[in-house]
Structure 1
Amino acid sequence: MTSQVDLPRVLRPFGTRQYRWLAAGLALALFGDGMWLIAVVWQVIDLGGGPGKVSLVSGTTAVGMLVSSLAGGVLADRVSQRLITIGLEVTKLVAFASVGVASMAGVLTFGHLLAAALLSGVTTGMYYPAYSAMLPNVVEAAHLQAANGVEGFMRPVFNQAAGPLIAGAVIGLAAPGQAIVLAGIASVLSAWCYVVMGPVARRHEPTDTGEVGAIRGVVTDIAEGVAYMWRTPWLWATLFFATILVLATIGPIEVLVPFALRDRAGGDAGDHSLVLMAFGAGAALSSLAFASIPMPRRYLTLMLGIWGVSSVPLVAMGFAHSTWMFVVTAFVLGVLFDGPMVIWGTLLQRRVPPHLLGRVSSLDFFVSVALLPLSMAIVAPVSHAIGYTATFVLAGLLPVPCALVFYLAARLWRDEIEHPLRDEPVPVVAPDTAVSATPRCDSELYQ
């Protein structure tokens, strides 16, 4: 029988049954979201909408993520994260299936589509803190970097490649409604995986609010997470930089690319899928590379350094006039965006106290997407005023000096030396045994 230590580093989390079902549920959830990602854009176009309405739908999704993420973090620290993920996938089934059926029946309205986009955002905002807080309860601490690398691999493969590819093919053969129904089916299959997974042991007792009122308790819990963020320089520096990166890049990538592709290269839904697949391929390869190596000694420098230049390929996209140019640029973007996410996820799970991980993960999500609605809202009028090229160039160059400012302000080169994240000894665990021992989480890492 093969033990976890006999497996390649990136495969060691799969030595436990619970993680295998968790990974399967994650893959299906990402696949469904990827189908929705491209199907909703072409559904808007099918309803006669242009960049403004695509921005509105994308912005509504972002608002849903924003308003739900903090509450999702509190919930993840209080109740079963597994039950949260099951409920979220069932909610997505209802949202996606209702839109798809209405579209096929010819009765879909733009208001209905906006409501589904809002629900999609809410489920995404609550899913991330629940998954992030659940993962350390399923795999050993020494395997967290590999597990985060697997997530980093799955996200582009299923969310940005396979999902959009299948959606593009279905749209080409039929219509957006059929693709959206398939997204709903993927969501219910994801929920089934989490059901089969079984109960997950927690590393700490759920937060006890005692006699405190529900609203007051939520506010108190959120305030505790915010206070931890403010006194943790590596955390606030990275989160605030991510806010700027999202503001500059996500709007152009999600809103402008399909229209620039159509107007400049004569592209359609299939070409848009190719661009998303290229982004996913770059992200997947980069994530696997980071999952297969030990934690770097200069992990903060490497992480923020790569992210600091990750937007630069958008400059090339501003001058692209053929599909292959969009595809190549998207591949490079994927490599630079997603690789450091492996370090970031492991960093949260190994340096944040377990009882705060759900809330800090939700703050990570909240701060990162805080300006996402604004990015979606302003990109259409900005591109109308200054053109596609200038908008892409501005988006590509703005984050670069910001990364340097936050790196220096938080003295990250000192922090990473004072708080090394060396690999811990790997215990021998039977392949189908779930984590039962509490992973070591040194107090000096709670900084």
Structure 2
Amino acid sequence: MATTPAPTTPRTAPPPTRSVLRDPAFLRLWAGSTASGLATWALPFVLGLAVLHRELGAAGLGLVLAARTAGFLAAVAVGGVLADRHSRRAVVLWSALAAAAAAPLLALGLGRSLLVMTLAAALAGAGQGACRPAFQALTAEVVAADRRQQANAAMTMAVRTSTLAGPTMTALLASFVGTGTLLLGIGLLWLVAALLPGRGATVPGSQSSAPRASLRAEFVDGIREARRHPWFLAGLGALTAVIALGYSATGVALPLVSRDRYGTGWVMAAAMTAYTVGALGGALLTARRRPRSQGWSAFAGLASYGFAPLSLMLPVHPAVVIAAYVVAGIGIELFNVPWFTATQREVAPDKLARVSSLDFLLSYGLAPAGLALIAPAIGTFGATPVLAVCAAACFLVPAAAALVPTARHFGRTPGSQGVSRSAP
């Protein structure tokens, strides 16, 4: 006797993941982070306009920007500790308010007191440095794990769009208002960054009333956490090498090559624009791209920055230089977005801000050192040998980093959810 087969439940596709751009909490965080990024970018540009208007000398500009960098480096490590010790939202609030308070002081000192401007720039840099790791950790609190790569892609797209449209907007505003007013506008952007983001989830241990170790001891504890992740140390080393050598070399050599080889400044402008456009494309690509070997793919993207100094070495058509910068821009975001996402996934939540501060401290901190060394090196040995060494470093250091254990997937297993976070 035939039996009637039991009815089966039809297979249905899993519900689509809701876009992170429809999440009000993330949109508030995104808007605040975008405002801070735009304010960070705008300050050196506006101070450059002050030099053009003879309100600030070239030596004064160098001193003010150096003070800003010093403030950043001094505060980024402290900000990471505070963001793990207290509410990340509170750290964003107070650091952004400090940067906002620096803006009217800069406007007050403009053309009157270089000392006031220098102190204000250091305060602005400190606010900028303290908020960066807090924003990074707050993203992990606000956004669910399965949407963080999309969220990080949206964050970096905002930064690149600001870089692309910012000069035009600022130059247009400068036609109607003075430099002091533009500085006050930067302060308003920092107010938006301070007040707009909402509160994230509470991180276990961050609100503990138990006696705390010193700031230094807690920062060392963050270093200890970073050392537990070989892929992170390898990635940080590769990123630092590319920025300190590759990015610094192209920053110095591109204006020289544009002037001496091509006899025009438009090659420099086109290459810089192409880099930003490429980075936008890379961020769009990574918003949904999930390669099986995510770490290897990211390191390959980082290594592609080597095409930028390589193109400046050779007597090629300007279109080749521009294409190389597009590839470099795409590659840098093929690294950045998975790198941020993996850090948020793999690092212990109560140490995330401290580990993120290491990223900003080394990559941002060694860039000025690279710039300081590359210029005299080019003057001594010539552009071609220096660019060759820097291009080789861009290709070889990420390749070596990719061989480190756990680097293939930016974690112990593909799609690892950081199961080892509780290990000592």
Change over 3 Å in CA distance of 1:18–1:417 after alignment to 2: closer
Please say if 1:236 is aligned against 2:230: no
Contact 2:304/2:327 (<8 A) preserved: no
Change over 3 Å in CA distance of 1:393–1:107 after alignment to 2: farther
Counterpart Cα distance in 2 of 1:377 and 1:298: 36
Deviates more, 1:326-335 or 1:232-241: 326-335
Q: What residue number does 1:433 align with?
A: none
Q: Alpha-carbon deviation of 1:18?
A: 1.4
Contact 1:170/1:176 (<8 A) preserved: no
The 5-angstrom pairing of residues 155-170 of structure 1 reads 155-158=159-162, 160-170=163-173
Q: Alpha-carbon deviation of 1:342?
A: 1.0
Name the aligned partner's letter for residue 222 of structure 2: G
Name the aligned partner's letter for residue 240 of structure 1: G
Decide which of 284, 297, 300 is 1:302's aligned counterpart.
297
Instruction: Describe the superposition over 1:27-51 as per-residue Cα deviations: whole angstroms up to 9, x where unpaired.
Output: 222222222242334445654427x
Alignment size in residue pairs: 407
Decide which of 119, 122, 128 is 1:124's aligned counterpart.
128
Counterpart Cα distance in 2 of 1:168 and 1:395: 33
SS at match of 1:401: helix
Change over 3 Å in CA distance of 1:153–1:404 after alignment to 2: same
Provide the identity percentage.
22
Change over 3 Å in CA distance of 1:136–1:152 after alignment to 2: same
Decide which of 19, 31, 45 is 1:12's aligned counterpart.
19
Q: Alpha-carbon deviation of 1:118?
A: 2.9
Contact 2:297/2:334 (<8 A) preserved: no
Q: What residue number does 1:428 align with?
A: none
Counterpart Cα distance in 1 of 2:255 and 2:182: 18
Q: Any unmatched runs of 5+ in structure 1?
A: 423-440
Contact 1:59/1:374 (<8 A) preserved: no
Q: Alpha-carbon deviation of 1:303?
A: 0.7
Contact 1:312/1:396 (<8 A) preserved: yes
Contact 1:152/1:339 (<8 A) preserved: no
Contact 2:106/2:121 (<8 A) preserved: no
Q: What residue number does 1:403 align with?
A: 398
Instruction: Describe the superposition over 1:288-343 as per-residue Cα deviations: whole angstroms up to 9, x where unpaired.
Output: 110122x3210111111211231321332456999988765543332221232110
Deviates more, 1:341-350 or 1:368-377: 368-377
Contact 1:68/1:125 (<8 A) preserved: yes
Deviates more, 1:224-233 or 1:162-171: 162-171
Q: Alpha-carbon deviation of 1:112?
A: 4.5
Counterpart Cα distance in 2 of 1:319 and 1:179: 41
Q: What residue number does 1:316 align with?
A: 311
Instruction: Describe the superposition over 1:348-407 as per-residue Cα deviations: whole angstroms up to 9, x where unpaired.
Output: 111112111111111222232342231232233334334555544443332221222222
- Across the aligned residues of Structure 1 and Structure 2, the Cα RMSD in angstroms comes to 3.4
Name the aligned partner's letter for residue 133 of structure 2: P
Decide which of 182, 185, 189 is 1:186's aligned counterpart.
189
Change over 3 Å in CA distance of 1:146–1:357 after alignment to 2: same
Change over 3 Å in CA distance of 1:375–1:274 after alignment to 2: same
Provide the TM-score with structure 1 as the length reference.
0.78
The 5-angstrom pairing of residues 194-343 of structure 1 reads 194=197, 197=198, 199-206=199-206, 208=208, 210-212=210-212, 216-254=213-251, 257=254, 267=265, 276-293=272-289, 295-317=290-312, 329-343=324-338
Please say if 1:379 is aligned against 2:374: yes
Q: Any unmatched runs of 5+ in structure 2?
A: 1-13
Contact 1:225/1:356 (<8 A) preserved: yes
Deviates more, 1:317-326 or 1:34-43: 317-326
Counterpart Cα distance in 2 of 1:144 and 1:124: 23
Q: Alpha-carbon deviation of 1:445?
A: 6.8
Q: What residue number does 2:419 align with?
A: 443
Q: What residue number does 1:351 align with?
A: 346
Counterpart Cα distance in 2 of 1:238 and 1:21: 30
Q: What residue number does 1:22 align with?
A: 29
Counterpart Cα distance in 2 of 1:19 and 1:107: 42
Change over 3 Å in CA distance of 1:307–1:256 after alignment to 2: same
Instruction: Describe the superposition over 1:212-240 as per-residue Cα deviations: whole angstroms up to 9, x where unpaired.
Output: 5xxx5212211221112223211111111
Q: What residue number does 1:421 align with?
A: 415
Q: Alpha-carbon deviation of 1:408?
A: 2.3
Decide which of 58, 72, 78 is 2:79's aligned counterpart.
72
Decide which of 49, 66, 69 is 2:58's aligned counterpart.
49
Q: Alpha-carbon deviation of 1:131?
A: 0.9
Q: Alpha-carbon deviation of 1:259?
A: 6.9
Name the aligned partner's letter for residue 312 of structure 1: F
Name the aligned partner's letter for residue 49 of structure 1: A
Name the aligned partner's letter for residue 374 of structure 1: A
Q: Alpha-carbon deviation of 1:115?
A: 3.5
Contact 1:248/1:398 (<8 A) preserved: yes
Change over 3 Å in CA distance of 1:284–1:299 after alignment to 2: same
Change over 3 Å in CA distance of 1:416–1:371 after alignment to 2: closer
Change over 3 Å in CA distance of 1:94–1:321 after alignment to 2: farther
Bigger-Rg structure (1/2) = 2
Decide which of 137, 143, 150 is 1:139's aligned counterpart.
143
Contact 2:302/2:331 (<8 A) preserved: yes
Q: Alpha-carbon deviation of 1:174?
A: 6.4
Change over 3 Å in CA distance of 1:417–1:48 after alignment to 2: closer
Relative contact order (alpha carbons < 8 A, sep ≥ 6): 1 or 2 greater?
1
Q: Alpha-carbon deviation of 1:80?
A: 1.6
SS at match of 2:211: coil
SS at match of 1:67: helix
Q: What residue number does 1:154 align with?
A: 158
